[in-house]
Amino acid sequence: VALLKGTLDVLVLKTLSWTAMHAFEITTWLEERSDKRIVVDDAALLQALHRMEERKLIAAEWGVTKNGRRARYYRLTTAGRAFLGSESERLVDHFDALTTVLSSKKA
Amino acid sequence: VFSTMPRGIRRLLRLRRTRAGTLGEIDEELTSLIDARIEALTAQGMSPADARAEAMRRLGATFDQARAQLHRSATLRHRRMRIRELFDDFWHDVRYGARGLLRRPAFTIVAVATLAIGIGATTTIFSAVNTLLLRPLPYDRPNELMLVSLEAPSVGGRPGEPVEIWSYPKAQEFRRRQTVFSDLAYYSWEPATITGGEPELTRVEHVTASYLPLLGIKPAVGRGFDRLLDDRPEVAQEVILSDALWQRRFKANRDIIGTALHLDGVPYTIVGVLPPGFLGLTGQGNLLVPVTAGTTRRLSQPQNHWLDMVARRKAGVTDAQMRVTVAQLGREINEIFLTADMSGAPWGANARPLDAVRVAPLIKQSLLILFAAVAFVLLIACTNVANLLIGRASTRHREIAVRLAIGASRGRLVRLLLAESSLLAALGACAGLAVAAIGIRALAAVDPTALRMPRFDGVGGLTLSLVTLDWTALAFAVGLTAIVGISFGLVPALQATRASLVDAMKDGGGRLGHGTSASRRILLVVEVAMALVLLASSGLMIRSLAKLLSVDPGFDARNVLTVRLTIPPRGMAQDSMPAFHSEVLARLRGLPGVKSASLSSCVPLGGGCSQTLIKFLDRDPVPEGQRPLVEVDWVTPDWFNTVGVPLRRGRGFSATDGVAAPKVVVINEASAKKFWPNADPIGKRIGLGVDDLEEGAEVIGVVGDVRQLADSSAMPAAYVSYLQSPRPTAMVFVKSTRDIATLGPEVRRALREVAPVFPIHDMQFLTERVAAATARTRFSAVLLTLFAATALSLAAMGLYGVMSLAVAARTREIGIRMALGADQRRVQRAIVGEAAALVSVGAAFGLVMATIATRALRSLLFDLTPTDPATYGAILALLAGAAIIASWLPSRRAARVDPVDALRAE
């Protein structure tokens, strides 16, 4: 499923709001939560992560996975948490409006 | 390690993520993600090959594409970050600088004030120099403009006059014959009273219609005069107002065009308004009227000279061609207008660039001297700032050492130090701009009439009120102080970075390192020396001015109104003149409040009027060429009384000393002293080379000396009575008991009644004429004094800075000395003594420099040599006083050092 522009960022932030994760954990978490309906290209995910890191919505640190692999862990910053709050509200509202319009029946 | 380090520390250490490092991390992350997916897929039972294929598919692009894309984004991000960091750093530096400056308000105020004075004063004076001396004249193609003059030959011992003015017929003749100028114009100014409504004494420039187009000046409102007027001199009663008069008297109302303005009771139609700042070439053109308006009689009098001529050289005419042609025309005109009474050498004509005569030589000299003075002030300001910054840098050795120890780069440190200096320079520049703006206003406010240049002494239109702020000068001054200040502040700081860190941190007493201490001392010596030069110059100027003002000029100028009254040639028979003059004076004496009225051919302090040879009839004749000269002035009997010249011996003139009576003269004391050193001059017979006095006249009295020049003592003079030797030209002197400001119009009216057609002009209070004689000296003295006071206070501030730092650095030493039994007074004496040594060395250098520099002042000094011992004594005392105060304050601090505290402090 192709994602709407800007939606990926919010989804990633939402994912990270649970705990700090590295890229593979994030994409796996999204797939599981959406019953595989949301599948993100890995390259696009990395782009999104780096973009948000520059905007200081998330911060990154190198860490070690359970399997003993070095990975870059991302966590939500205060600014990211605030952004997530306002953006998810906006998105939900947006989809609600879309749903209302698209599911209306001919009178 | 890097990313776990707090940002603050990263910043402190100036560690930065490199681009290569970032790209490496990206590669690692990308590989790690792919590996994690492969691992997860194989864990689910997929074959390694399939798992890899699936992982690559999930990438969304080929590995290389994905990697390149990520790298590109990272590079862009990195660039953005660098820019943001630079900006952050800049603000950080500014804040750091501001904090540093705020933490030491005394240092900051002194430094900014120093810069402001140095920059402001230099900019002001340079702006004036630029406007008055350097910048092209503010007219159209000014290098083509020539001042064309007649030349008078030397007559009977009087030198020739290379710059003589024109009569209207001569000027017209010249205009008709000349071939080298594309256009020419005549102009002259006269006083006039605006009547109708509030009467106002003002000055009017009479100009040809070609005048404004020739200079390239276009009226801001309305039009100029019709050029046809110059060829058909029918009287056009039109007037053009100056912008200043229009603004003030007419509140800038455009509707006045076409209405009438009355000048001396005659209506003129207002046709235009001049652009702001233009007051004619004479600087007196509050109003412009056609040269043909007003007194028309003089237009037909070839020997009535009253006009200046300005001309524009034709393109392609060389300087030599012009000179030859003008000289030739001068001879032709001399032939045409030759009269019987003009014996001797012929008159000529010449043309010189208007630019060459733009400013009187004395004004030029004064300005250049002021410029030199102000350059000294700027240099002193520079050394002072350098001194302050060196002091500032030397107190920071430890801070610098600490920063170096934790890894700051030298470049970064330099930037931090630069930040403070630059901020200082910026503040100084702003304050300097303010000072310059105020200074230029103050210059413009200097009474322009007080500095008015005498006729022929330059383009009067070039006044201090035209001076505008010179941005180049401002930039230069700011740049110089900034460069000097920064380089002096930076060098010691850099030296500090090179020094052993351990030493710097360990050695508490080393805050004032030996190197910086020595350079500060040298700077201080230089500063004191330069301040002394300025002090000497201004001291000499002040002494000179004081002498000039304190000398008794020999007369009392108070409450005396003066005006020129000229009987034009052939206007009246010589025999009728005494009766006419008596009638004029009788009429003036009849005005309410007038105490006395009289005539003199010459204005006191006006530079003298005519000289002639004197011979003594009771002595052996001296050979021709060795006969002494005397100033000869004509007066009416009452004149000595009008201006309060005392009679010393004998009697003055009386009404009975008429044309038919025996010839008599009155001499001044200088004559008596010079010509009759051991005898009584009363009753002696002398011959004077004027009129019919060659045959002998009796000396009947001796009066007090009246100076011909403000800056030299009175010359021998002889007075002749108007009633006995009638003369057509005279200056009328009216002394009144009432406020003479209101007397002008009444005197003018009374004179008009008696002499309706004769020129009455140049009305001034005698005090004005006296003030004009001393104006330039006063102007230079006031400004030089200002600069010298500035220099002295800057030097004192510098001394204070050096001494307080020296005290601070030696706190421990002083503590030890006191612990060992030195008493307070002894400590204090040591500190002051050190300061005295520094100042003495500076003063010694300064004295040598001053004796050389003040030679330039020689021609401006009155009755004073440039090495006047009294002046030097006074300024040395002043310098010593300032030095003692500047070093006593820190010394007191030193004396109050508590030995225990001082030893514990480090």
Write the pLDDT tens digit of every residue in B780-801: 777 777 777 777 777 787 777 7
Q: Show the tokens assigned to B534.
A: 């300025």
Q: CA-to-CA distance for B905 and B511, rounded, in angstroms?
A: 13
The enclosing H or E element of B843 equals helix B824-853
Q: What confidence tens digit (pLDDT) does each residue in B296-313 have?
A: 778 888 877 888 899 999
**pLDDT averaged over chain B?**
81
Residues 6+ apart with CB under 8 A from B405: B501, B505
Nearest-by-Cβ selection for B36 from A24, A47, A61: A24
pLDDT digits (tens, 9 = 90+) for B459-495: 666 666 667 788 888 888 888 777 776 776 676 666 6
Element housing B847 (H / E): helix B824-853
CA B787 to chain centre: 12
R_g of chain B, CA atoms, integer Å: 40
Q: Nearest C-alpha of chain A: how many angstroms from B470?
A: 48
Residue B133 vs residue B841, higher pLDDT? B841
A53 → chain B, closest CA residue: B77
Asked if the Cβ–Cβ distance from B29 to A41 is below 8 Å, we say no
Q: How far is B404 from chain A (nearest CA, A)?
A: 29
B32·A71 Cβ contact <8 A: yes
Exposure of B707 in the CB half-sphere (CA atoms within 13 A) = 20
- Helix, strand, coil in percent for chain A, rounding step 5: 55, 15, 30
Dihedrals phi, psi of B774, to nearest 5 degrees: -115, 5
**pLDDT tens per residue across span B29-41:** 999 999 999 999 9
Residue B47's pLDDT is what?
92
Q: Do B61 and A71 touch (CB under 8 A)?
A: no
Cα separation, A62 vs A85, whole angstroms: 27
Q: Which residues contact A39 (CB under 8 A, 6 or more apart)?
A: A1, A31, B58
**CB-CB neighbors (< 8 A) of B40 in chain A:** 24, 28
Q: With contact defined as beta carbons under 8 Å apart, do B598 and B328 qualify?
A: no
Number of neighbours of residue A77 by Cβ within 10 angstroms: 18
State which residue of chain A sits closest to B77, comparing Cα positions.
Answer: A54
Name the residue of chain A whose CA is nearest to B81's CA. A54
CA dist., res. B723 & res. B610, Å (int): 18
Q: Tokens at residue B116, please?
A: 């402001």
What single-letter amino acid sits at B36? A
- Judging contacts by C-beta atoms under 8 Å, the chain A residues touching residue B73 are 47, 50-51
Burial class (CB in 10 A: 0-12, 13-18, 19+), B536: buried
Taking CB atoms and an 8 Å limit, are A43 and B59 in contact across chains? yes
Task: Give CA separation, B68 vs A27, A44, A48, B34, B54, in Å.
Answer: 21, 13, 15, 16, 20
Q: Which residues of B touch A (CB under 8 A)?
A: 3-4, 25-26, 28-30, 32-37, 39-40, 55, 58-61, 65-66, 69-70, 73-74, 77, 80-81
Residues 6 or more apart in contact with residue B865 via CB below 8 angstroms: none
Three-state DSSP class for B615?
strand
What is this structure's pTM? 0.63
- Cα–Cα distance, B349 to B151 (Å, whole number): 5
> Is pLDDT of B906 > 70?
no
Query: Which of A36, A46, A49, A65 should we substitute to test contact with B (largest number of B Cβ atoms within 10 Å)?
Result: A46
Among chain A residues, CA nearest to B61? A43
Over residues B78-91, the mean pLDDT reads: 85
Answer left, alpha or beta for residue A89, where phi above 0 means left and psi between -120 and 50 means alpha: alpha
Closest A-chain CA to B67: A43
Residue B590 reports pLDDT greater than 70 = yes
With beta carbons less than 8 A apart as the criterion, state whether A70 and A62 touch. yes
Report the gap between the CA of B2 and the closest CA in chain A (Å).
10
The answer to whether B713 touches B726, Cβ cutoff 8 Å, is no
Q: Which is more confident, A49 or B605? A: A49
The enclosing H or E element of B873 equals: helix B869-895
> Closest partner residue to B33 among A24, A51, A60, by Cβ?
A24
Q: At residue B321, what is the residue type?
A: Q
**From residue B41, how far is each of A23, B45, B295 by CA, in Å?**
16, 7, 118
CA distance B89 to chain A (A): 18
Residue B862 has pLDDT above 80, yes or no: no
- Number of helical H runs and strand E runs in chain A: 4, 3
Q: Please give the interface size between A and B, counted as residue pairs whose CB atoms are below 8 Å apart.
A: 72
Phi then psi for residue B612, to 5 deg, are -150, 170
pLDDT digits (tens, 9 = 90+) for B105-145: 877 887 888 888 888 888 888 888 888 788 788 889 999 99
Instruction: Give the phi and the psi of residue B813 in degrees, each rounded to 5.
Output: -60, -45
Q: Can you tell me the mean pLDDT for B431-460?
A: 66
- DSSP β-bridge partners for residue B149: B350
What is the longest distance spanned by two Cα atoms in chain B? 151
How far is B45 from chain A, CA to nearest CA, in Å? 17
CB B436 within 8 A of CB B543: no
Tell me which amino acid residue A52 is: M
Asked whether the beta carbons of residue A28 and residue B40 sit closer than 8 angstroms, the reply is yes
d(CA B864, CA B142): 40
Mean pLDDT of the region A46-73: 90
> In a 10 Å sphere around its CB, with 0-12 CB exposed, 13-18 middle and 19+ buried, how is residue B307 labelled?
buried
CB contact under 8 A, B33 and A65: no
Distance, CA of B211 to CA of B302 (rounded, Å): 21
Contact B424, B111 (CB under 8 A): yes
Residues 6+ apart with CB under 8 A from A107: none
Give the containing element (helix H, strand E) for B700: strand B697-703
